[in-house]
Chain A
Amino acid sequence: MKNCEYRQIDPQVLSTPTPPPTQCAEKTPKQVRRKWEVFPGKNRFFCDGRIMIARQSGVLPLTLLLILFTSSLFFIFDCPFLVKHVTSCIPVIGGVLFTFVVISLLQTSFSDPGILPRATPDEAADIEKQIDSSSSSSYRPPPRVREVLINQQVVKLKYCFTCKMFRPPRTSHCSLCDNCVERFDHHCPWVGNCVGRRNYRFFYTFIVSLSFLTAFVLGCVTTHLALRSQGGKGVISALQESPASALELVVCFFSVWSILGLSGFHTYLVASNLTTNEDIKGSWSGNSGLQSAGNPYSYNSIFTNCCAVLCGPLPPSLIDRRGLLPAEDSPAAAPAPPEIELLGFGAKTDINMEDSCQDFAVSCTG
């Protein structure tokens, strides 16, 4: 029988767990990395870069919940009654509108709004050189503004300090997403994404179809309650018989005005080829009495403007989020392994201590 001597745990035993982290470090350089993993803007990517959303997704879950909840109540509680008493087209029309709303909402939220990738270091250096060379010998730094003549209108192009380039016309830097977006309209919290050149038509389809859906549901629910309260029953008893309809009535009544208003406003913007950003800033009004004469991008015809904005060619995404990174960039994966190393080290320390304690216990009893 051994003496139960106190045996000090050898601290060097704890410092051995180097092999597993090195295995991790060896594996990562061979891993294929895509450009979305090193994207500098504040966006989140899913499905290996196929789906993107702003990091501040705002109230998108609430929007989806409201639409799905109200529509399901409509289909479950109102449609059976209306099919029996009015026509069976009602769920069909409702279904089509609902499909349009959900698909266009998802496309608005999950697509690239027209983000401009940031300038490469070489480009930024070249622009700096051009700015420096064009400045006169004054003490003040030259203003980082370029003036361009577009359609006999002077347009000022500002320099973006984050993206290190002169912003193209109609481009604006979204502070929430930290990206320059082409034809920037606004950052919509309901949709959880910026609205720009590439997803404006999805956004417009979403708000127009949503206003039709809301108005349709409101009309159907009103008809439903009106039919139920016929025959001397009264509105109160009708509401008691179908409480879901009351809830739908409240939701639709309060949302239809704002959605219709928004649709009307954006129809005006589409017809005059303006963005919300330009309209709010008053970029083209004030120069002349007619806004269309001031806007250099307008085709001066409502029909052409609508066609250009909604049916024009859809440019591809410029950020190439699923593109593969060149092999030299893979050491940039270094920030990830140290975390794994730390965790591994901590776990290994515990395991070593446990082993040492077990050995000690065995030696005591042994």
Chain B
Amino acid sequence: MIHILHRFFFPFLQTHSLQDLRQQAPVAAKVFVQRDYTSGTICQFQTKFPAALETRIDKQQFEDTIRKLNSLYAEAEKLGGRSYLEGCLACLTAYTIFLCMETHYEKVLKKIANYIQDQNDKIYAPRGLLLIDPIERGLRVVEITVFEDRSTGPGR
């Protein structure tokens, strides 16, 4: 309710909500964080800070987000007792359990989606940025949409 009142009385928000960003603000640019293949084929993203984000977000915060994402993907693809157990059980049932059971990888992907949503709400949306979940881009890139900054002063 307060949110709606805010939108009515203050058309130029200094703090943007995720909903507003997606619906109203025009896109200024799109930044793509590419994959980092130095560890092999596992899903890792480069932590190099893109030049286009220099004015918008702190370098350390960006690196923390990417590092956390990398660790979550590493957890999804980790070879350990749990994944071997899942694999052996699947093999014995002729892989039919994949039809009814959610795999460990899928569970971690849900965790990643929640983390990205959380990061967007707390850190990126207030700065006019939006992280796109890499799974929506085929795990090729982390896409960051940079919205035009309508705020009159520095963002809170």
How big is chain A's contact interface, by range?
A: 35 or more
- C-alpha spacing A140/B37, complex, angstroms: 28
Task: Indicate if the CB atoms of B32 and A123 lie closer than 8 Å.
Answer: yes
Q: Min CB distance, B109 to chain A, in Å?
A: 7
- C-alpha spacing A168/B109, complex, angstroms: 20
Q: Assuming the A-B contacts A307-B79, A312-B83, are A104 and B94 also in contact, with contact meaning beta carbons closer than 8 angstroms in the complex?
A: yes
Give the residues in chain A near B76, CB-CB below 8 Å.
Answer: 313
Give the residues in chain A near B139, CB-CB below 8 Å.
Answer: 318
Task: Indicate if the CB atoms of A151 and B94 lie closer than 8 Å.
Answer: no
- C-alpha spacing A198/B89, complex, angstroms: 17
User: Which of A37-45, A112-120, A332-340, A358-366 lies at the interface?
Assistant: A112-120
Q: Min CB distance, B86 to chain A, in Å?
A: 7
Task: Indicate if the CB atoms of B137 and A307 lie closer than 8 Å.
Answer: no
Task: Indicate if the CB atoms of B95 and A170 lie closer than 8 Å.
Answer: no
Cross-chain contact of A123 among B37, B79, B106, B141 (Cβ < 8 A): B141
Q: Min CB distance, A267 to chain B, in Å?
A: 15
Give the residues in chain B near A119, CB-CB below 8 Å.
Answer: 140
Task: Indicate if the CB atoms of B32 and A313 lie closer than 8 Å.
Answer: no
- C-alpha spacing A107/B90, complex, angstroms: 13
B40 within 8 Å of A (CB atoms): yes
Which residues of A are interface residues toward B (Cβ below 8 A)? 99-100, 103-104, 107, 116-117, 119-120, 122-123, 126, 148-151, 155, 157, 165, 168-170, 182-183, 201-202, 205, 296-297, 304, 307-308, 310-316, 318-320
Task: Indicate if the CB atoms of B137 and A168 lie closer than 8 Å.
Answer: no
Task: Indicate if the CB atoms of A103 and B37 lie closer than 8 Å.
Answer: no
Task: Indicate if the CB atoms of B106 and A201 lie closer than 8 Å.
Answer: no
Cross-chain contact of B95 among A107, A155, A297 (Cβ < 8 A): A107
Give the residues in chain A near B32, CB-CB below 8 Å.
Answer: 122-123, 126
Task: Across the interface, name the chain B residue whose C-beta is closest to A310.
Answer: B87
- C-alpha spacing A124/B42, complex, angstroms: 22
Q: Assuming the A-B contacts A311-B88, A316-B103, are A297 and B40 also in contact, with contact meaning beta carbons closer than 8 angstroms in the complex?
A: yes
Give the residues in chain B near A311, CB-CB below 8 Å.
Answer: 83-84, 86-88, 91
Task: Across the interface, name the chain B residue whose C-beta is closest to A209.
Answer: B94
Cross-chain contact of A120 among B37, B83, B90, B137 (Cβ < 8 A): B137
Q: Min CB distance, B47 to chain A, in Å?
A: 16
Cross-chain contact of B96 among A103, A165, A304, A319 (Cβ < 8 A): A103
- C-alpha spacing A169/B35, complex, angstroms: 11
Q: Min CB distance, B123 to chain A, in Å?
A: 23
Task: Indicate if the CB atoms of A149 and B38 lie closer than 8 Å.
Answer: yes
Which residues of B are interface residues toward A (Cβ below 8 A)? 30, 32, 35, 37-41, 76-79, 83-84, 86-88, 90-91, 94-96, 98, 103-106, 109, 135-141, 143
- C-alpha spacing A304/B80, complex, angstroms: 10
Give the residues in chain B near A120, CB-CB below 8 Å.
Answer: 137
Q: Assuming the A-B contacts A104-B94, A148-B38, A205-B91, are A315 and B135 also in contact, with contact meaning beta carbons closer than 8 angstroms in the complex?
A: no
Give the residues in chain B near A315, CB-CB below 8 Å.
Answer: 77, 105
Give the residues in chain A near B98, CB-CB below 8 Å.
Answer: 314
Task: Indicate if the CB atoms of B95 and A202 lie closer than 8 Å.
Answer: yes
Excluding A313-B79, A315-B77, 19 further A-B contacts by CB distance (< 8 Å) are A107-B95, A119-B140, A122-B32, A123-B141, A126-B30, A148-B38, A150-B37, A155-B37, A168-B35, A169-B37, A169-B40, A201-B95, A307-B87, A311-B83, A311-B88, A313-B103, A313-B104, A315-B105, A316-B106
Give the residues in chain B near A318, CB-CB below 8 Å.
Answer: 135, 138-139
Can you name 9 A-B pairs with beta carbons within 8 Å?
A122-B30, A123-B141, A170-B41, A201-B91, A296-B40, A304-B79, A311-B88, A316-B103, A318-B139
Q: Assuming the A-B contacts A123-B137, A313-B77, are A103 and B109 also in contact, with contact meaning beta carbons closer than 8 angstroms in the complex?
A: no
Give the residues in chain A near B90, CB-CB below 8 Å.
Answer: 314
Q: Assuming the A-B contacts A201-B95, A319-B138, are A168 and B79 also in contact, with contact meaning beta carbons closer than 8 angstroms in the complex?
A: no
- C-alpha spacing A168/B87, complex, angstroms: 25
- C-alpha spacing A307/B91, complex, angstroms: 12
Give the residues in chain B near A310, CB-CB below 8 Å.
Answer: 87, 91
Which 3 pairs show the lowest CB-CB distances between chains A and B?
A311-B87, A117-B138, A103-B94
Q: Min CB distance, A185 to chain B, in Å?
A: 14
